Structure formats: C-alpha cells, structure tokens
Chains A and B, each alone.
Chain A
C-alpha cells in the first residue's frame, strides 16, 4: 500500500519559452495534424492524402478568383475578431457578435436601398460606414449598460441579443423582399451598383483590405499603447484593482462595448456593401462565433489574428473543395478541420507546460 510507483508522466509549468521554440512546436503540431489527417483520409476513403491536400490548396488558392474570395472571407473573420478583442481583453464575454454584425448589415442595406437612387456612391459608402458603426455600437451598448448598472450576466444577454437581431433581420428581409415572394432581398442595386465597394486598382475587394487592415492596426495600437487600452487591461484583470486605481469600471465597460459592437457592426457593412450586396439572416453565418476562437487563439494580438483567420478560412475553403471534388460529404472535411484545430490548440499546451517521463531504473541519490 505504501509502495505506489512514481507517476509515469509529470507535468511542469514552463517559465517562458523562446519565441522560435514556440513556433517550432506549433509547426510540429500542424505537421502531426496533417499526418493524422492523412491516416484518417487514407483509412476511410483510400484516397491519396497528398492529392487531397493538393485539392485543399487548390480550393483556397487555386485561381486568382479563389484567392481573392479566400482573402475576402478572411478579412470578414478578421474584422469581427478585431471587434471582439477589446471586449474579451476586458473579460466581457461578448458572444453577441452575430447580432452586432446583422444590425450593421441591416443598417448598410437600408442606406443602399433608400439612398441608392438619389445619392452618389461615395456618400452611400460614408453613410453606410457611419450607420453600421452606430447600429453595432447600440447592439453592444445595451448589454453593457445593463451589466454596468445591474450586473446582469453579459454572456446570456449578448446571446439573446443575437436572436433579437435575427428576428429584426427577417422582418426587414420580408419588408424589402425582391422580387416579391422570393423571401430574399436579392442583390441590392444590381444594375446601378450604387453603394457597392468600387474596385481599386482593378481589384474588387481592395477596399475591404484597406478598411479591415486599418481597423486591425488601429486596434493593435489602441489596446497596447493607449490609456484606454490600459484601463481595459486593468478592468479585465480585477475590478477591485481598477477601482483602487481610480478607474470608473462602469464607464470602461460601456465605452469598450460600444467600440467592440461598432467594429462588429462595421464588419456587417463590409459584408453587405463589400461582398454579398444583400442581407439575410445568414449574413453573419456563425462567423461571430468562429471569431471568438480567432480572438482567443491570438491572445487579442490583432496581427496574430490575421494568421489565424487565414488558417480557418483556408481550412473551410479546402474542405469545401475536397467535399465536392472527391464527393466526400461535409462531415469528412469537418473531421480534417477538427483534427488540425485540435493539434493547434494542443501545441499551446506544450508551449506552456513541459512534460517529463519517468526515469528508467533506480535514481542515484546524488543529483
């Protein structure tokens, strides 16, 4: 009874790791994930894994058009992640990005629909930009005010705000239905392209790139170097410390959620004006939730978010491609995506902890 054995594995927290070792572990994680996925693919479908991976690459970057679509979708995810960053840095669980995107999208669509015939495109764009910011900010402010005043649970509150936004969107879709009876809004201003992002240097999605990259850089500077960013970090760590430092916790919560909601609303503008040119209840399409993964995996560093958003969109596009090319169903590609994410998250564990195995034989008493 007294002679149990030394544990086989023993886990110790690392005190920091050189950055390149961290990346080495991550790369090793991806390679392992590819190997395991390859075994899975071969085991189940007897397809050549290398060909399947090639197809994934083709799906995402095979043609110039595909590449731009990948970039467009990546920007959308990135923009939402950037919007979520300040809220999560404050440990405010904003899972209401879906709703904030939809409200921003609805506001943009309204501008395009009602102003499309009379206003020039530049004005439509400026107006769409502003009203989408405001709509998203309002949707973020409501739960924030309730949290600040009555300490309501923001997780439930923001979640429920999503359903509210979905209902409002379906109401507006019914109102703006075109053609009548289709139950969709259709492509807004299809003939005039009023309120659409104009092509820059011949690239249709160049304005998306400019807007989202600008927001990414500004948010990085805001969180890292501004006084308000400092306040967010303090409130996120401990409200008591914030009060001690003379920070008004309520004010910071409200202000930060207005910013977070506004940027999520802005991604609704980018989605409607800059990509789909329509509005529906699936305009957000679950990306408000996927972006939570982006924000957390990047630890709120908006530049790292670029990489993670790109990876997720690449996997999605690749999965679609192999699903159609090899007639696998969506689940097969989802499994591959799951394996890769699993290994990526797992590599974070090995970056933070070191694992030792039991030494063989009797230890010498002299260390």
Chain B
C-alpha cells in the first residue's frame, strides 16, 4: 500500500487541569521523506503535541495514524514499536555509561551483551548518515553536540523512521548546526521523516520542506517552505504583524563602567574556567559575549556579580555615575549584598532563571522583593512596594499570569523571563548583565527583550548580553567579546563583523599576544 503520510494526527486535544488547553483539535500531517518544521510561540503546544506522538502524554481525544493505520500510543515503548523516536531538549542519557551502553540500555536482548555486534551496528548507522561518534566514550566526557548526536543515533538504532527533534540547535554553534543539517538531509534522502521544532526562522527556511504553525494550542495552517519567508511565518505564528527589526542606535555618551583586569577563575577541581580576561564595559552600549556554551560566560558574569571566587590578582573595578575617578571601586571580594550596599545598581539576569534568578514556588510579589526584602526598617518585611512593582511589571511587559499570587513556576518560560527581566530593569541599573536572555523564548517575546535591553542602553546602562544566536548578537550589540575555552579571543565591532568570523573566533583559539608564551 502506497501511503503518502508517515504520520497523521487528527483532532488531537489535550488539556492540563481545567484552565489550560495545550492542544485544541490539532491536525498535523507528516509526509514520508519530508522535513517538517513545527513553529509556534512559547506555550503554543508544540512540545505537548510531540510528546503525545512519542508516548509521553496521552491525548484526551483525537486519532493518530501511522502509515495509514490508526494507532494508540500509550507509552514511549509503543512509540518505538511504531518507529517514532524523539530527541528531547533535555537529553535523557546516563552520564556514567558509554555511548554504546546508552544505546543498548533498555532494549530487550540476551543476558550476555554482544558488544561487538552493537558496535558494528552503531558504526553502520554512523557511516550511512555521516555521524561521528565514539561508542566507547563516556557521556560525561561528551560535548553537548556529541550528546545530541548520540541521542539521534540511539533513536535510529531502535529503528525509528520518524524523528522528532525538539529545539536541537539551541545548544549548538553555527558549525555544529550545519553538520546536524547535513545529517538531517542524509536521513531524509534515506526516506526518514523528520519533525523539527525550532524558534530560529532562518533555520526553518534553510532545512525544512514544509512548515506547520501552532498558535495558542490551535493549528493555524501549513505552508511550503519555498513559499514562506520570515515575516510571513512570524505573522502567522503571532496572529498579527510583528516588526522583526532590532533598532540599534549609535552608542551615545559612553562612559567606562567596569574595568576587568587579569580576571582568572578556577573551579573546585582546579580547572581554569576563565583565563586572564581583560575587558572594559561602557555605559551606553551593548557588549555582546559570544562563545560556545561553557567557555567561561557564566563565570565571567558571576564573578562580576560577586557570586564567584576569583584567583588572586584578578580585578573588576566599578566606576560610579557622575564621579570622575581613575581608580574606581573594586567589586571582587564582595558578595552581592555588599555590592548593593555600595550603591552599585547591578542587574543580573542569570541563565538559570528558576534556579538562581527567581524562587519558583513563590508568587510574583515575593519574587519582586528578592533583592530588596531588607528595605524598610523593622523585623517584618514590607510587601506593599513589591506588590505594586509586580502589578506594574505584569502590566508593562504583558506577563500572562492568572494572578499576582501565582507561583512563578506555573508560568510559561517566556513569562518567567519577563518577570525576571522586569524586576532587574526596575532597579534602574547602571550595569545590566544577561545570560541567554532569550533562550527558549518565542520570537515575539525575544523581540520584547531586545527592545528592553536597547532602552536600557539608551538610558546609559552598560548592557552585557551573553548570547548564542550569532545573528542576534550581530544585530543587537555594539561590540562583541568572543570567548574561547576561557580566554578572551578577540573583541570585534558588531557592525562590521560577519557571522563566520565570530564563529571562527569561537572555535579557534588565537595564539596569545605579547608577553605570554604558550607552553
């Protein structure tokens, strides 16, 4: 029987609780040998829909057809039996096992494991599609990209014909993304069908054959990629016309705010995470920090914020507003509280929003007072100002929340970030640091964040933007500092540099200049 569709989802509905309808009568068709992009804002139900296809959730109603046959997928095991495999945003690997062990794990088999046969089969899959993988490497030794490759090989090993990739490029460098796309094209040529979830429109346009769009849990429609462009897709996703321009103004009245000298950070095992960083940060400009994840971005921001132990000789000097000193004031050796007590309005939007920037179980009011609960005299905390601030943030940033009293953990990712950024901006910062401020956010919310950062820049704040999307870094920032393996590889002008140059600086460490000699 020649069936055109690998998967058809018909009238799928899924509700969480009584209020949230994640998917409302959604249709989705996936043709054989096709790469389909699934597009939608945060909370539009993409992941929920895919989780129903991979057996993690069970739909409240609706039908799923695989190869024209109606099926019931009640568990991930059922999905595997049907040849459906999903690579999740958060990898599901066992760190202490090797690649081959992870692949074999959970599969039925004899008591004695035939490692040779497994290795041969893995090799065969790798050769066919162009993966590079070392079956004997332990997962904890792997880079993010290797882990992702392993996840894909794992699903193929189990005989998947339909692959679901949930935001696979969010953690990859441009070069790694290109490699992933090449592999995806090979798989497509081999007759596999692929659904890819991504927020990056240029990737949608590059890799997919067709785009399906969800909005607020409903299916909006689909479009051949050949007929689509970024503007059309965004409008479809958001439901109204959205401007996709980042308005970058020329830096005005820039003044030195931070002078970072010889900043070196070692982790608990004595491994150097930041190596002799020298960097100046100016008020009135946006300084981008580019680099493969884990190259010292986190340590850099946390050192400035007073959350990181630094090596002797390191220095971060802060130059207060309106004071003409040559010396500045030393920030290192202080904790966040004493930095705040100095009168430094240092805003920090950390990468781990609910694990560091906010308290998930607390409501908006209590989160607004996180850095300011000491204000006011007396033993008891005054909750009136934070309550008012919470209301203002909800209103001005259009935070979607049932109420001010809702624990922030219940909000969607984009709204969590709005609460965090809103709080940090409310302190009228002189320095605003953000790490991966738009990670996982949809395009509409992302542009809101860019706009807010630009406003801060125009107000004279020194904005530090650690980002992973090079297109955005080049469009948003004034200067970009590129980190590579804990070193500051170069600082480039964002207006004149190309993406390839930055990507190159991220991966190839230049020979250290001047006084130092590499051993």
A binds B: yes
Question: A329 interface residue, CB < 8 Å from B?
Answer: no
Residues of B within 8 A of A118 (CB): none
Of residues 1 through 24 on chain A, the ones whose CB sits less than 8 Å from some CB of chain B are 1-7, 10, 12-16
Size band of the interface chain A makes with B:
35 or more
Q: Is the pair B356, A367 in contact by a Cβ cutoff of 8 Å? A: no
| Stretch from B28-36, B58-66, B218-226, B259-267 that touches the partner | B58-66
Task: Knowing A244-B336, A246-B336, say if A4 contacts B74 (CB, 8 Å).
Answer: yes
Contact with A along B352-366 (1 / 0, CB 8 A): 101111111110001
**How many whole Å from A10's CB to the nearest CB in chain B?**
6
Residues of B within 8 A of A367 (CB): 11, 13, 25, 60-62
Residues of B within 8 A of A12 (CB): 16-17
Complex CA–CA separation, A363 to B72 (angstroms)? 13
Question: B337 interface residue, CB < 8 Å from A?
Answer: yes
**How many whole Å from A280's CB to the nearest CB in chain B?**
39
Question: B495 interface residue, CB < 8 Å from A?
Answer: no
Residues of B within 8 A of A246 (CB): 335-340, 371
Q: Is the pair B336, A237 in contact by a Cβ cutoff of 8 Å? A: no
Question: B19 interface residue, CB < 8 Å from A?
Answer: yes
Give chain B's interface secondary structure class. mixed
Complex CA–CA separation, A253 to B359 (angstroms)? 18
| Stretch from A33-41, A101-109, A178-186, A224-232 that touches the partner | A224-232
Task: Knowing A7-B58, A10-B58, A245-B336, say if A226 contacts B380 (CB, 8 Å).
Answer: yes
Task: Knowing A12-B17, A237-B361, say if A230 contacts B373 (CB, 8 Å).
Answer: yes
Complex CA–CA separation, A3 to B64 (angstroms)? 12
Q: Is the pair B19, A227 in contact by a Cβ cutoff of 8 Å? A: no
Instruction: Pick the residue among A14, A16, A233, A244 that contacts B307 (CB under 8 A).
Output: A244
Residues of B within 8 A of A245 (CB): 336, 370-371, 373
Contact with B along A214-235 (1 / 0, CB 8 A): 0000000100011111110110
Contact with B along A231-255 (1 / 0, CB 8 A): 1011001101101111110000000
Residues of A within 8 A of B510 (CB): none
Task: Knowing A4-B72, A240-B355, A366-B11, say if A233 contacts B82 (CB, 8 Å).
Answer: no
Question: A365 interface residue, CB < 8 Å from B?
Answer: yes
Q: Is the pair B359, A238 in contact by a Cβ cutoff of 8 Å? A: yes
**How many whole Å from A17's CB to the nearest CB in chain B?**
10
When C-beta atoms are compared, the residue in chain B nearest to A235 turns out to be B359
Question: B379 interface residue, CB < 8 Å from A?
Answer: yes
Residues of B within 8 A of A354 (CB): 17
Q: Is the pair B373, A5 in contact by a Cβ cutoff of 8 Å? A: no
Complex CA–CA separation, A227 to B66 (angstroms)? 57
Question: B350 interface residue, CB < 8 Å from A?
Answer: yes
Of residues 51 through 109 on chain A, the ones whose CB sits less than 8 Å from some CB of chain B are none
**How many whole Å from A359's CB to the nearest CB in chain B?**
9
Question: B455 interface residue, CB < 8 Å from A?
Answer: no
Q: Is the pair A244, B357 in contact by a Cβ cutoff of 8 Å? A: yes
Q: Is the pair B71, A2 in contact by a Cβ cutoff of 8 Å? A: yes
Q: Is the pair B359, A234 in contact by a Cβ cutoff of 8 Å? A: yes
**How many whole Å from B79's CB to the nearest CB in chain A?**
11
**How many whole Å from A79's CB to the nearest CB in chain B?**
22
Question: B374 interface residue, CB < 8 Å from A?
Answer: yes
Complex CA–CA separation, A350 to B355 (angstroms)? 29
Q: Is the pair A241, B355 in contact by a Cβ cutoff of 8 Å? A: yes
**How many whole Å from A172's CB to the nearest CB in chain B?**
37
Q: Is the pair B362, A237 in contact by a Cβ cutoff of 8 Å? A: yes
Residues of B within 8 A of A16 (CB): 17
Q: Is the pair A230, B336 in contact by a Cβ cutoff of 8 Å? A: no
Instruction: Pick the residue among A228, A231, A248 that contacts B335 (CB under 8 A).
Output: A248
Q: How many A-B residue pairs have CB under 8 A?
A: 115
Residues of A within 8 A of B335 (CB): 243, 246, 248
**How many whole Å from B429's CB to the nearest CB in chain A?**
15
Question: B124 interface residue, CB < 8 Å from A?
Answer: no
Q: Is the pair A15, B356 in contact by a Cβ cutoff of 8 Å? A: no
Residues of B within 8 A of A363 (CB): 61
Residues of B within 8 A of A6 (CB): 58, 72, 74
Residues of A within 8 A of B69 (CB): 2
Question: B396 interface residue, CB < 8 Å from A?
Answer: no
Complex CA–CA separation, A13 to B78 (angstroms)? 23
Complex CA–CA separation, A5 to B374 (angstroms)? 57
Complex CA–CA separation, A15 to B18 (angstroms)? 8
Task: Knowing A4-B72, A245-B371, say if A13 contacts B357 (CB, 8 Å).
Answer: no
Q: Is the pair B350, A244 in contact by a Cβ cutoff of 8 Å? A: yes
Complex CA–CA separation, A3 to B63 (angstroms)? 13
Question: B465 interface residue, CB < 8 Å from A?
Answer: no
Residues of A within 8 A of B71 (CB): 2-3
When C-beta atoms are compared, the residue in chain A nearest to B381 turns out to be A227
Residues of A within 8 A of B366 (CB): 230, 233
Q: Is the pair B358, A241 in contact by a Cβ cutoff of 8 Å? A: yes
Complex CA–CA separation, A5 to B336 (angstroms)? 56
Instruction: Pick the residue among A3, A227, A240 that contacts B373 (CB under 8 A).
Output: A227
**How many whole Å from B192's CB to the nearest CB in chain A?**
19
Question: B10 interface residue, CB < 8 Å from A?
Answer: yes
Question: B103 interface residue, CB < 8 Å from A?
Answer: no
Complex CA–CA separation, A231 to B20 (angstroms)? 33
**How many whole Å from B405's CB to the nearest CB in chain A?**
10
Residues of A within 8 A of B58 (CB): 6-7, 10
Complex CA–CA separation, A280 to B16 (angstroms)? 54
Residues of A within 8 A of B17 (CB): 12-16, 354
Question: B369 interface residue, CB < 8 Å from A?
Answer: yes
When C-beta atoms are compared, the residue in chain A nearest to B78 turns out to be A4
Residues of A within 8 A of B370 (CB): 234, 241, 244-245
Residues of A within 8 A of B356 (CB): 238, 240-241, 244
Instruction: Pick the residue among B25, B82, B339 that contacts A2 (CB under 8 A).
Output: B82
Question: B176 interface residue, CB < 8 Å from A?
Answer: no
**How many whole Å from A353's CB to the nearest CB in chain B?**
10
Complex CA–CA separation, A10 to B307 (angstroms)? 44
**How many whole Å from A237's CB to the nearest CB in chain B?**
5
Residues of B within 8 A of A234 (CB): 359, 362, 370
Contact with B along A346-364 (1 / 0, CB 8 A): 0000000010000000010
Residues of B within 8 A of A226 (CB): 379-381
Residues of A within 8 A of B361 (CB): 237
When C-beta atoms are compared, the residue in chain B nearest to A366 turns out to be B11
Contact with A along B321-342 (1 / 0, CB 8 A): 0000000000000011111100
Q: Is the pair A241, B357 in contact by a Cβ cutoff of 8 Å? A: yes
Q: Is the pair A5, B381 in contact by a Cβ cutoff of 8 Å? A: no
Question: B348 interface residue, CB < 8 Å from A?
Answer: yes
Instruction: Pick the residue among A3, A221, A227 that contacts B374 (CB under 8 A).
Output: A227
Max chain A C-beta neighbours (<10 A), residue from B18, B58, B350, B356: B356
23 contacts between A and B (CB under 8 A): A2-B81, A4-B72, A7-B58, A12-B17, A237-B359, A237-B362, A238-B354, A241-B356, A241-B357, A241-B359, A244-B307, A244-B336, A244-B350, A244-B356, A246-B337, A246-B339, A354-B17, A365-B62, A365-B63, A367-B11, A367-B13, A367-B60, A367-B61
Q: Which residue numbers of A lie inside 8 Å of B, CB to CB? A: 1-7, 10, 12-16, 221, 225-231, 233-234, 237-238, 240-241, 243-248, 354, 363, 365-367
In addition to A5-B74, A238-B356, 9 A-B residue pairs with Cβ atoms within 8 Å of each other are A1-B81, A2-B81, A15-B16, A15-B19, A226-B381, A228-B379, A238-B359, A245-B373, A367-B62
Which 6 residue pairs of A and B lie closest in terms of their CB atoms, listed nearest first? A246-B337, A15-B17, A246-B336, A240-B356, A227-B381, A245-B370
